[in-house]
Amino acid sequence: MKDNGRSSAQPTIAHVARAAGVSSATAARVLGGYGYAGAETRQRVFDAAKRLAYQPNQLARSMATGRSEMIGVVVADIENLYFARAIRAIIDTASANGFGVVLANTDEDIELERDAVRVLLANRVDGLIVSPTSSIEVDHLIGARDMGCPFVLLDRRVPVLNADTFAIDNFRAAHQAVASLIKQEHRRIALVSNAPSRGEQHYLISSVRERIDGYRAALHDAGIQIVPKLIILGGWDTENLARQLRQLCQSANRPTAFLATDSSVALVLLNVLRELDLSIPDKVSLICFDDADWTAAVTPPLTVVSQPIRDLAKAATEDLIARLQGEATGPAKETLLQATMIDRGSVSSALARPSVKRRTSAAGN
């Protein structure tokens, strides 16, 4: 155990101290940047440290201080553009504040999420940024907090946790998007999501639920009947989603417009529409969430709901760090950022098309 596994032993503070001819406490003080030290002593220590290529051992420091300067990030899928942007912003913000980032992926699987939190806790991250998979199975998060590891919620709300939350105003965003479609005389508007199709409404993560709510509200406000079949919960299997979409598009009263709850879902929809030769925006209109870079490059460019996820992630990280440093110890607060619609041409008036049924009611199944 002497060698510690590392072949060339790392120099420690003790080595530096000896080389500088001071006590290790003194060396530690100057190297750690705390406590007092004489100017000349300082210099000697720094010199010795450089000479030995000393690298502080954060692990040992963490042991002694009880803080690891690491924050854990738990999200569903790093490959998803939305989360990728979030993680990027988190890393940037964290490292600007001297924190490292340990990343875990859950794939929307609550067991993986539990494992992830356990591992992060074992590694004594100072805090957690979580985009929870479930709004009801949150015992592990409560556990984390009980163990003194605070967390903030990103993108998804879980009121019972009573934690600082950073989310998009999904209700409003969806409402606005649907309202704009209605203004273009669309009456049969479908909402397409990759939310799980089984299970209670209650199980939906808040973002999707709120978008559905916004969708319903907009229809309701316009006096349009809500047709359950037009709300597609595709689940995480894209093949299944594609199948549902094909069926919907081939039905007698196919929708004239779609609202996709994220860009990957929109992609599936796009493929189905092409397959069925339903051109945008002539035959159908489309708005999707997420201003993915490709949405501006397809033909026609897609009208999107742009979400300020980077700002959101940055705010979440700063908030967490502030709390870790003892500032901002108030009650849980919720930060809701507004999305903005970017009109790009995938929406056209339903009136321009010949064979569109315009009866408001009784049209659905």
Minimal CA–CA distance to 186: which of 262, 278, 270, 255? 255
Which residues lie across from 100 on neighbouring strands? Answer: 70
Residues 3-22 that bind DNA (CB under 7 A): 4, 9-10, 12-14, 22
Helix segments in 160-305, DSSP class H = 170-183, 206-221, 238-250, 263-275
Binding-site member from 139, 200, 252, 299 for a second copy (CB under 8 A): 299
Q: Does 297 bind a second copy (CB under 8 A)?
A: yes
CB atoms within 10 A of CB 231: 16
User: What token pair was written down for 275?
Assistant: 């397959």
Burial class (CB in 10 A: 0-12, 13-18, 19+), 232: buried
Q: Does 92 bind a second copy (CB under 8 A)?
A: yes
Binding-site member from 43, 47, 51, 63 for DNA (CB under 7 A): 63
Region of 56-64, 152-160, 321-329, 354-362 interacting with DNA (CB under 7 A): 56-64
Strands 340-342 and 303-306 come out as antiparallel
Cα–Cα distance, 124 to 119 (Å, whole number) = 9
Q: How far is the CB of 28 from DNA (least distance, A)?
A: 3
Q: How far is the CB of 9 from DNA (least distance, A)?
A: 6
Binding-site member from 26, 135, 193, 263 for DNA (CB under 7 A): 26
Site string for a second copy, 216-255 (x = CB under 8 A): ----------------------------------------
Torsion angle of C-alpha atoms 21, 24, 27, 29, degrees rounded to 10: -150
Q: Does 65 bind a second copy (CB under 8 A)?
A: yes
Binding-site member from 56, 143, 301, 364 for DNA (CB under 7 A): 56
| Max Cα–Cα distance, the chain, nearest Å | 90
CB atoms within 10 A of CB 339: 22
Q: Does 283 bind a second copy (CB under 8 A)?
A: no
CA distance to 272, 280, 284, 301, 362, per residue, from 277 (Å)? 8, 9, 10, 17, 27
User: What token pair was written down for 261?
Assistant: 């709850």
How many binding residues for a second copy (CB under 8 A)? Answer: 65
For residue 300, report the phi and psi dihedrals to the nearest 5 degrees. -75, 160
Q: How far is the CB of 242 from a second copy (least distance, A)?
A: 12
Determine contact, residues 281/345, Cβ cutoff 8 Å.
yes
Q: Does 322 bind a second copy (CB under 8 A)?
A: no
Minimal CA–CA distance to 321: which of 51, 91, 95, 127? 127
Q: Does 121 bind a second copy (CB under 8 A)?
A: yes
In the complex with a second copy, which residue's Cβ is closer, 62 or 253? 62
Q: Does 148 bind DNA (CB under 7 A)?
A: no
Binding-site member from 47, 50, 51, 57 for DNA (CB under 7 A): 57
**Which residues of the shown chain bind DNA in the complex (CB under 7 A)?**
1-2, 4, 9-10, 12-14, 22-26, 28-29, 31-32, 34-38, 40-42, 54, 56-57, 60-61, 63-66
Residue ranges in contact with a second copy by CB under 8 A: 1, 4-8, 10, 53, 55-60, 62-68, 70, 77-79, 81, 84-85, 87-88, 91-92, 95, 100-105, 115-116, 118-124, 143, 146-149, 264, 267, 270-271, 274, 292-294, 296-299
